[in-house]
Chains A and B, each alone.
Chain A
Amino acid sequence: MEVAVKIRKLVKRFGNTVAVDSLDLDINEGEIFGLLGPNGSGKTTTLLIISTVYKPTSGEVYVYGHDVIREGDVVRKYVGIAFQEPKALWVDKPYELLLWHARVVGYSTSEAREVVKNVMEVLGLWEHRNKYFYQLSGGTRKKVEIAKVLIQKPKIAIFDEPTAQVDVISKHALWDAIRELRTQGSTVIIATNDMFEAERMCERIAIIYKGKLKALGTVEELKDSIPEGDIVELMLDGDENTYLRAEDLLKQYGKTVRSNDSLKIFLNKGEERAIEILDLLKSRGFKIRKIMVKEPSLDDVFFYMTGAKLKEG
């Protein structure tokens, strides 16, 4: 399998802030690859470097063997990106914008009209084609941004938080369209902080936190990477101090991760241990509001690796 994007020791600094910190990554041709991390983890910066919009501070990035710095003009022929924030002026109209985009990416005028109409119909944008951008909802603007890549059909299609602000029904339409793009031969890279989206869409996922790669693998591999296979999650009556005391008490069972309103213990034989834990806590006077035994989700994997929640960062 050919490597479509190769990233080596990539560093990007903005002043004193390190956005991407010595990142190494290979993205294979034809896969749907996810960059999972909270806001500010370096996902967008990485994507903008791949698409030659940002320049790396140090390190190397190759797209089909072409250096993003020295051969940017060649790289841009392979890459198309749907930005996190839709890029348009308030007086732009979707149809005109997409028609211009289609012509820039190589369609003749008649082809451009046809492909733009098709993509706009698929995404439910056709009725909005002649509205001004300021008249569109956030979700519709986002769809216009996604439409650019669907029209372009690039070898490497990049989507930065593709379904943020999009309603549930449209999300599925967008996911189907992105999958179809892959079927037609594109390698797809999706940056997201939505665990469900990552799990549903991506064949391999890189978990990124504070600019560093924390884990890499398929969804199953990432879940299996937690040494203890089960999670006991507790919710207690009490304040932070209650959780601190409970954490001290339960450390003997496995790794514990505490948030504001729950305590997770990563352990083996979850069902059996849950009863022990329940008895122990009751005997020490804790009031248990809820106890759950579950298999780890991607959110738990992220939590385990970083100690932070995806949405909180």
Chain B
Amino acid sequence: MNLNTLRALYLLILWDLNKMLRRAVFVAMRVIWFVIQVTVFGLALTAMVRLRGSLPVDVNYYEFYLLGIYTSMLFSISVSRAYDIAEEFEEGIVEYHLSLPISRRVFAVGRTIGGGIASFLFTLPMFAVVLWLLEDVNVEAVIISLSSALLFAMSITGFVLSIVLSLKSGDATDIMFGVLDSLLIRLSTVFYPAVVLSRYAPYLYVALVNPISHIADFLRTLFLFEEYRAIAIASPIAMASYILGLAVGFSSLAMYIVEKKVEGGGWR
């Protein structure tokens, strides 16, 4: 990787970050909504939920819920990159980018990393709220969780980039990612532990391969280690590998699609 490649990557990341900065008001609104979600609805929900007896260990549902809801936000905001990319395609920005003196691979990786970082930074205030509510957290867990959240956001952005550039349709993008967003969050361990889901086999199988389950349970394992490792969806190493594999796999998919398949025009 030479200096020009790094420079191009940096500028593509900057492109996505600039776009996010213009949405400061939107970000602030989402953060406020998140605070209300975790303080009002989260506490109300926790008051109704009784996990004791259902699980082999005693888990505080509120803590479980906090990391689940943060993960669902991270996923939704990463998926919302689809609408941004679709808008860019509609306005011809993708054609403009394809004409620039940047290799297709660097373009794909740059937009994947840039979109991932933008989504990650978007959720950073929410993460801070979660840490504040969890109270006693160690620095190591914070660093590892931030890194894994960033990797997760990049992998979702890589996936989204590949699909939107292949679909070339605003309507198809809206439908597909709207459905994917709501379905995948619900078919995961965001709100329910895997052991509870095991009573409904098909649900459990989807949750087991669902990347949202892996990132949610990985974060829980980091912060609620002693209680949670017994009921997590997989071992910490397996979950971390899954997230890393996802990031590498979807970035490679984005590179392949942008390099071999994507051309301007044809937006429906």
Contact = CB atoms under 8 A, between A and B. Distances in A.
A101 B264 CA distance: 19
Interface string A26-54: 00000000000000000000001001111
8 A-B pairs with least C-beta separation: A87-B96, A53-B264, A73-B103, A87-B92, A76-B101, A77-B101, A51-B99, A55-B263
A43 to B, nearest CB: 14
Contacts of A64: none
Contacts of A249: none
Nearest to B106: A73
A51 B103 CA distance: 13
Main secondary structure on chain B at its contact with chain A? Answer: helix
B15 A87 contact: no
B18 A76 contact: no
A73 B104 contact: yes
A89 B104 contact: no
A76 B264 contact: no
Contact of A87 (B11, B22, B91, B102): B91
Nearest to B103: A73
A106 B18 CA distance: 19
B101 A87 contact: no
Given A14-B266, A53-B264, A83 B102 contact: no
Residue of A51, A72, A89, A103 most packed against chain B (CB within 10 A): A89
Nearest to B8: A104
23 contacts: A14-B265, A14-B266, A48-B264, A51-B99, A53-B99, A53-B263, A53-B264, A54-B263, A73-B104, A76-B99, A76-B100, A79-B99, A80-B99, A81-B99, A85-B92, A88-B93, A89-B93, A100-B14, A100-B15, A101-B100, A104-B102, A105-B100, A105-B101
A93 B232 CA distance: 48
A83 B95 contact: yes
Contacts of B104: 72-73
B3 to A, nearest CB: 11
Contacts of B7: 103
B58 interface: no
B265 A83 contact: no
Interface string A72-98: 110011011101010111110000100
Contacts of A91: 22
B174 to A, nearest CB: 18
A106 B8 CA distance: 9
A104 B11 contact: yes
Contacts of B92: 83, 85, 87
